Structure 1
Amino acid sequence: MFPTDYDFKSSIESTSTKTNAQNKVGRNMKFDFAKKRFVIEDGVNVETSQVDAIKQWIELFIRTELNAYKIYSDTFGLNLNKLVGYRLPRSFIVSEIKRRITEGILNKVPCAVSVTNWKFDKGTFYFTVKTNTGEEVQYTYEY
């Protein structure tokens, strides 16, 4: 019934390991979020380095509103609608934004291992994302 030349054990092991979408970034084209277009030089799309690709993934995750676009899964994106603008304690808002960003990055951004060094200053968050290769990506988010 089953082929004798196929190693089922190794295929099961390979699917059971953590896939954080995820242990490599792959090829990514550079995207300019300010101009809302891909960067093209001499008629060719510009590829990014791994660190720049991770920055782009973080930017995309933070800019994407949760459940707003059918092309993304129901867990991709950030929902801050019930936090910002409501009369909630500032410490609660800051900690909840940190939690949502951290969980989202660790689950949806390729190669992200940890999110540390959080700083908050007048509506701006600063944090560091460590990759599986040991590189650190500095990121700034304004809400």
Structure 2
Amino acid sequence: MNAETSAVRGWRALSVPAGVAAAGVSAFALLHLRDPHNAGSYGICPLYAVTGLWCPACGGLRAVNNLTNLDVGAAMSSNALIVPLVLALTVAWVRWAGRRWRGTADRMIVLNPVATVVVLGTLVAFTVVRNTPWGSWLAPA
């Protein structure tokens, strides 16, 4: 196996994960510096504007802002899916960077069909529940 056909390893392999990390850190910094709790600071959710229903991401920017201020309780109150999502993406990124270093991975996340259905089902269930009177505690605070 020559150098052209072998997998990229080591520091060179971390260029893509480093770019993804830079984008994530930049987004967190922006959300920390420009508070989304101020009405209209990032625009409006089109689904909420048209239907009055909360989408699965409504409150997500506020939740990330709360996370940057280390207020996990407020983040959970803004959007209960964001905290585990940020944690899962962080773990996935660390594992991906390790696999890239060893030359064994090209993509950060690969979902099999069952996992895809579970994720989509969770998003649909969360959206439905947060838009009902008995699930209103999941609506953005």
Which is richer in helix?
2
Structure 1 and Structure 2 fold alike (TM over 0.5): no
Which is richer in strand?
1
